[in-house]
Amino acid sequence: MKTKQQYFYNALLLTVVTLLMRTVSVGFNVYVSGKVGAEAMGLLSLVSGVYNFAVTLATSGIHLATVRTFAERLKLSGGAENKKCLRACLSYAAFFGSVASILLFALARPIGIYALKDARTVRALTMLAFTLFPIAVSAVFNGYFTAVRRAYKNALAQVTEQAVKITFTGYLLVLVAPKTTEGSILAILMGGAVSETLTFVLNLVLYMLDKRHFKGIKQRKNTSKINVAAIALPVAISAYMRSGLLTIEHILIPRGLQTYGTGNSAALAAYGALQGMALPVILYPAAILSSFSALLIPEITEQNAIGNKREIRYVAGRAYQAALLFSIGAAAVMLFLSGELGEVLYNSSEVAHFIKLLAPLIPIMYIDTATDALLKGLGEQVYSMNINIIDALISVILVWILVPHMGINGYLVTIYVTEIFNAAFSICRLLKVSGYRPKIVSLFVRPLFAAIGSTAIANLLLRFTFTHASYTAATLVLHIVLVTVLYLALLLLTHTLPASDVKWLCATLFGTRKKQHLRPNGQAKPYDDVFASS
């Protein structure tokens, strides 16, 4: 009980903080896009494609390796091997962080001139090289705090990073940076660089304070070797390939748009509207789900280490239930309020169009997030990364073929094909290794009808209350809240979300749940069968 309570408290804390940070981030993104324009957002996405590969090289799978290493050793030794674990993880991170920093610094000019074909990206890439080492080391501390269930420390680091980034970036954009596309990009990236460095320092301080929790435990020296690379490198090699392919994809998109007949500035603007403006809105609700999913990894790892298959099936069932109920509701909001979201946030019908087209993909995207977390906890990270590599390869091929002939619509088709492919293979693998069997009607069909019904009722209630001219940000928030309340009500009325599940959640949070689980009619049901066949 205590472990489950701790999981929920940590997840709720991370959810609140992540949602707050995502809200601030989207708001800041709206401000920045209005300040610098869609072309600058497109150029920023272009730079980010290369930078993401550099970050992948710097971290090289160390976050997952840290979480799994500490989770397994804590379960077996109770913290007696913490110093040894941390030393191994930090050595790995320091090596790859240094290599990545040196390579990006040395190759910034040839990448900017010959690969991205835009000299404005050279200084940006050079500056970003200095952030890679602190990012790599911070990933170790972040993984450690996740493994020991000190989520509030990760939350504190996130809040600090975001606050520094927004404050410093805003200052540079308004008062320091030249009013050019390159100057705006440098201001945005410099704000992020400063925040990453301060986050590294904060994480180090938080870890030094956290050591007190294991003060009375005698550290073991003569223990089995801790091979971080055995966990991290398979993930890293796959991540290199996938990230490299994604970088190629992001380079090909603007070029394909130009071949289609769009000028350079217009191509960057269209790319920026989709990648830098519409997708952040689509992924915004994922802040809630991602926090729970990230904390699934140590939970599943511990149960897998002791061979508790019943608990694994149970957790998988709860994770899928939460992911689908949430994502279907989020998709309905995005689909039916896409016009309002685009106009209120960006004053752009183009962004609204992209949000509407991407909204049906939300359940697939979100369930894939939960599935990947479960697979990593079960030690299936190599399989996941292989699927991701194939996904990225398909994406590059489709972008290369479709975008020059279909324009930005070709990229949208690519997103659909690759997301469906990735989710389908990941779900099949999870069902095979966990033994979990979902009920499609209760998990998908009923929530779908509840989502359609809630949005339809909300639209009817508000249709004659607000005209298009009076539709503001406050009205949009009211509309979303109304849809959410109606959606939850319909889930309860149709028993899609049983009252017993609500009682289970409340009892888990407040520590009053008995060891038996109950069916909706109050009859006891064996613990391991709650989701094993549902």
Q: What is the 3-state secondary structure (H, E, C) of 162-199?
A: HHHHHHHHHHHHHHHCCCCHHHHHHHHHHHHHHHHHHH
Q: Kindly indicate the confidence band of residue 466, based on its pLDDT and cuts at 50, 70 and 90.
A: low
d(CA 447, CA 442): 7
How far does Cα 286 stand from its chain's mean position?
7
d(CA 98, CA 173): 30
In this predicted structure, which of 112-116, 157-161, 217-221, 391-395 has the lowest mean pLDDT?
217-221
Q: Kindly indicate the confidence band of residue 219, based on its pLDDT and cuts at 50, 70 and 90.
A: low
Phi, psi of 524 (to 5 degrees): -70, 145
pLDDT of residue 167: 84
pLDDT of residue 366: 87
d(CA 155, CA 157): 5
pLDDT of residue 321: 83
In terms of pLDDT, which residue wins out, 281 or 530? 281
Q: How many C-beta atoms surround the C-beta of residue 473 within 10 A?
A: 11
Q: Is the model's pLDDT at 230 over the cut of 70?
A: yes
Q: Is 53 exposed, middle or buried (0-12, 13-18, 19+ CB in 10 A)?
A: buried
pLDDT of residue 76: 62
Q: Kindly indicate the confidence band of residue 501, based on its pLDDT and cuts at 50, 70 and 90.
A: low
From the DSSP assignment, how many helices (H) and strands (E) are in the chain?
A: 22, 2
pLDDT of residue 500: 67
pLDDT one-digit tens code per residue, 405-417: 988 899 999 999 9
d(CA 41, CA 515): 53
Secondary structure percentages of the chain, helix, strand, coil, to 5: 85, 0, 15
Mean pLDDT over each residue of the chain, to the nearest integer: 80
Instruction: Identify the CA nearest to 65 among candidates 202, 224, 239.
Output: 239
Q: Is the model's pLDDT at 481 over the cut of 70?
A: yes
Q: Is the model's pLDDT at 21 over the cut of 50?
A: yes
Instruction: Identify the CA nearest to 207 among candidates 83, 122, 319, 383.
Output: 83
d(CA 288, CA 292): 7
d(CA 281, CA 165): 19
pTM: 0.72
Is residue 142 within 8 Å of 210, Cβ to Cβ?
no
In terms of pLDDT, which residue wins out, 366 or 28? 366
Match 């804590």 to its residue by tokens. 74
pLDDT of residue 188: 82
pLDDT of residue 166: 83
In terms of pLDDT, which residue wins out, 415 or 174? 415
pLDDT of residue 134: 92
Phi, psi of 525 (to 5 degrees): -130, 135
Q: Kindly indicate the confidence band of residue 218, based on its pLDDT and cuts at 50, 70 and 90.
A: low
d(CA 156, CA 167): 17
